[in-house]
Structure 1
């Protein structure tokens, strides 16, 4: 399984990459999870937003975005829109994506604390990457979520 990683700002994404990223996000977050919300939120194109994605067999199979302080949380950078394509689930790609994300966070936002809003059923997944739950369950777009902080800066 050869994975080709990409780290880009919005202005550096080509049209095909942008299309595939948005299609993957809509296929999973809107259609599969039957959650109707405005996925295209202007945060994607913020000058400090970092898009991390990977290709597997010629298609984007994993994606997330990293947001600078002030975009989602005042005192934390954030990782969001974490997604693995259906055909790549169960391969360990999600863990590779999060491991890569923490490295990219250090490259672009050194020594800054990281906060995420995670779907509650993925708490154990994020625990394995050093995140701890810091809130009770809350609904975000009608899906149970929890706030989590990275225990230590990697």
Structure 2
């Protein structure tokens, strides 16, 4: 089941699971030493799909410079290539469409995922650049999908 929670609404166990997976993916797996936990977590909406004590997919949604940002997009290795990433992006975009209907949506995409994000309607707005020795593009969401807002409201939205 998908959960949409502010930091204060996350249980200590959920927060631990999220930070453990984020560190595993973004620091250990990618061999990038950087401050993974940051102040964005304090005001972001955390989208989480879990099964028992396992995170299956996660991202955070937040406002910055008047735009909605999707960040820390992750699917743990044991859940990859079975559709969780696609489901995560669709859930995030549906949430944003309902919560922030008039805002632009931007993502900082790792270069190898460019085609994946383009399949959702994101377009490049930057040249290739490196952050923490990882190739990235900035991308802006251009394609607005039809969203069934009743479906979103039934999935434990918490504002």
TM-score by length of 1: 0.90
Aligned counterpart, 2:152 = none
Structure 2 regions of 5+ residues with no counterpart? 146-159
What does residue 137 of structure 1 align with?
Answer: 128
How many residues align? The count is 145
Moved over 2 A (4+): none
What is the rounded CA distance, in whole Å, between the counterparts of 1:67 and 1:149 in structure 2? 15
Superposed, 1:2-151 pairs within 5 Å as 4-46=1-43, 49-56=44-51, 58-68=53-63, 70=64, 74-151=65-142
Hey, which of these two has a bigger chunk of helix by percent? 2
Give the gaps of 5 or more residues in structure 1. none
The answer on whether the counterparts of 1:111 and 1:153 sit within 8 Å (CA) in structure 2 is: no
Q: Aligned with 1:139: secondary structure?
A: strand
RMSD: 1.1
Matched residues in 2 for 1:90 and 1:113: separation?
Answer: 28
Q: In 2, Cα distance between the equivalents of 1:8 and 1:75?
A: 21
Higher relative contact order (CA 8 A, sep 6+): 2
TM-score when normalising by structure 2: 0.87
Residues 37-65 of structure 1: CA distance to partner in whole angstroms, max 9, x if unpaired?
Answer: 1011111012xx11001013541111000
